[in-house]
Amino acid sequence: MATTRVYVFCYLPGSLEAVPAGLFDHDERPGVGSFAYGRQYLERPNALPADCVALPLGVEAAPVTTNGGLYGVFRDATPDYWGRLVIAAGLRSPPESLTEMDYLMHTHATRVGNLDFRASLDAPEPSLAPPEFQDIEALLETAEGLEQGRSVDERVRVLLERGSSLGGARPKCTLARDGELWLAKFPSHQDWISVPRLEFATMQLATRCGLKTPEARLESVGGRDVYLVRRFDREAVPGGWARRGYLSALSLAEWDERDRDRWSYRTVADRIRRHAVHPGRDLRELFRRIAFNILVRNTDDHPRNHGFLLEPGGVSLSPLFDVEPARVRSGVGTDYFLAMSVGEEGRVASLANLCSAAPTFNLSRAEAEDLTRQMQECVASTWRDALEQAGFDKCDMAILAPSFGAQVL
Ligand SMILES: Nc1ncnc2c1ncn2[C@@H]1O[C@H](COP(=O)(O)OP(=O)(O)O)[C@@H](O)[C@H]1O
Ligand SMILES: [Mg+2]
């Protein structure tokens, strides 16, 4: 059985240089990983756990067999469909022929969170050197080429790969602009409408309804829409960007990504109660996000689309991301399902089902009904304005109206 040994480094708060945190040994078959912190790391007064759920400091970690033998925080730091496609193109291999560890070791400094994975203890500090905003048009064209299986300029592909270590399936690239790090989400040839514009409009709507959102912009690049959102796990400091640790809800709940039947907001809420620095605040915000998702028909609310930032005493819910309405065809089906079960009616995407789970979110029934009513009023009175301000025309508005529960404009 071949074991791969990886030196896990951590960028502690405010620091631009990572320190060794521990050793990760991984067996590809059957997919088992084990991790142990280094003694020197544990002696640091400012040491943070790499993953406060699966890898608390000072406790011997159990081996992991979920997600191909990767602890949640390592899986979160590994790309999904999009980043894998870009890496595989560089290696001239089909994406499915590469292993989890191939992908983990090919991630770049733009990966989410505060960890780094090195083949040796004395491997040099990798440079962040993200792509720059001025190259966005070339990056967009290269992303398009890769998505459509065309051959692309290898120099730009290398640049794109440096910015493509985040998860998710949509074409995207992290880049630097005006001293800040941004995630640029590109259009895809499979889109039913301008998805970057829709994501921007939905985020504006969420902001107006009082949800915690990151700074976002919409750019036109060579006539195509690109959605730009500030990286909430990076902060500009002199000489670079300091990093914050990150855990998805999938990792917080220690689920396997193929375990869809087990996914439930109740478990996420229990983990928030146990690990969050401000559990009451985060539970209320999560409840309001679910209400918002129901109202804008966002049914892609799976546990990797909910994130948490690591804090010295635990976790806190990250700003909102990856929210946009699903396509709804007027008159075709009226049942919608969330990606995780929430209340007495399981995954049914209704405010009544959400309110049936009020105690899960530390709310009384009356408080839950009040919060959903407020959210409903805000979405109903603001969605048209948010879409118009994002530049959607009458024709698009007619296509989008059913997603907001409206039939006629
Ligand atoms: N503003 C952000 N700052 C830092 N990380 C982010 C931000 N938005 C998303 N992410 C991370 O990047 C991943 C992919 O982004 P997402 O918007 O979900 O893309 P996709 O639409 O392809 O699923 C998320 O799962 C999350 O880990
Ligand atoms: Mg996503």
**Preceding peptide of 303 cis, ω within 30°:** no
Residue among 297, 293, 306 nearest 247 (CA):
306
Kindly give the parts of the chain with pLDDT less than 70: 1, 330-334, 406-409
Pairing mode of beta strands 180-185, 314-317: unpaired
Q: CB under 6 Å to ligand 1: residues?
A: 82, 112, 166-170, 172, 183, 214, 229-233, 304-305, 307, 321-322
The number of beta carbons lying within 10 Å of the beta carbon of residue 179 is 7
pLDDT (0 to 100) of residue 330: 66
Q: Which ligand is nearest to the CA of 83?
A: 1
Per-residue model confidence as pLDDT tens digits over 255-267: 999 999 999 999 9
Measured in Å, residue 240 CA sits from the centre of ligand 2 at 26
Which ligand neighbours the alpha carbon of 241 most closely? 1
What's the CA-to-centroid distance between 322 and ligand 1, angstroms? 6
Mutate to test the pocket of ligand 1, among 191, 203, 321 (most ligand atoms within 8 A of CB): 321
Q: How far apart are CA 71 and CA 157, in angstroms?
A: 29
DSSP per position, 282-296: HHHHHHHHHHHHHHT
- What is the per-residue pLDDT for 341? 98
pLDDT for res 2: 81
Give me the amino acid identity at 380.
A
Nearest to 205 by CA among 107, 329, 288: 288
Q: Report the separation in Å between the CA atom of 83 and the middle of ligand 1, taken as the mean of its atom positions.
A: 12
How far is residue 170's CA from residue 232's CA, in Å, rounded to a whole number? Answer: 19
pLDDT at position 328 is 85
The residue whose CA has the least distance to atom 6 of ligand 1 is: 231
pLDDT of residue 29: 87
Q: How many CB atoms are closer than 10 A to CB 223?
A: 5
Q: Please report, for the chain, the start and end positions of each structural domain, with discontinuous segments joined by +.
A: 3-118, 133-230, 243-404
199 burial class (0-12, 13-18, 19+ CB within 10 angstroms)? buried
- Minimum-distance ligand to the CA of 72? 1
Does the pTM surpass 0.75? The reply is yes
Q: How far is the CA of 304 from the centre of ligand 2 (A)?
A: 6
Measure 42 CA to ligand 1 centroid, in angstroms.
Answer: 30
CB 213 within 8 A of CB 320: yes
Identify the H or E element spanning 176: strand 172-177
pLDDT at 408: 45
pLDDT at position 329 is 76
DSSP string computed for 232-297: TTEEEETTEEEE--EEEHHHHTT--TT-GGG-BHHHHHHHHHHHBSSHHHHHHHHHHHHHHHHHTT
On whether the CB atoms of residues 288 and 371 are closer than 8 A, the answer is yes
The preferred substitution site among 183, 202, 235, 317 for testing ligand 1, maximizing ligand atoms within 8 Å of CB, is 183
Collapsing DSSP to helix, strand or coil, 14 comes out as coil
Please name the fold of domain 133-230. Phosphorylase Kinase; domain 1 (3.30.200)
Which DSSP symbol is given to 340? S
- Which ligand has an atom closest to residue 301 CA? 2
The span from the CA of 409 to the CA of 403, in Å, is 13
Ligand 2 midpoint to CA 321 (Å): 8
Ligand 1 atom nearest residue 321's Cα? 8
Which residue's CA is the nearest one to ligand 1's atom 1? 231
Ligand 1, atom 3, lies closest to the CA of: 231
User: Which structure tokens are listed for 17?
Assistant: 């240089």
pLDDT of amino acid 405: 77
**CA nearest 69: which of 20, 6, 17, 111?**
6
Residue with tokens 């546990």: 303
| Ligand 1: centre distance to CA 40 (Å) | 33
Distance 271 CA to ligand 1 centre (A): 21
Q: What is the largest CA-CA distance in the chain?
A: 65
- The rounded distance, in Å, linking the Cα atoms of 178 and 325 is 31
Residue whose CA is closest, atom 15 of ligand 1? Answer: 168
List residues bridging with 34 in a β-sheet. 25
CB-based burial label for 381 (10 Å; 0-12, 13-18, 19+): exposed
- pLDDT for res 129: 85
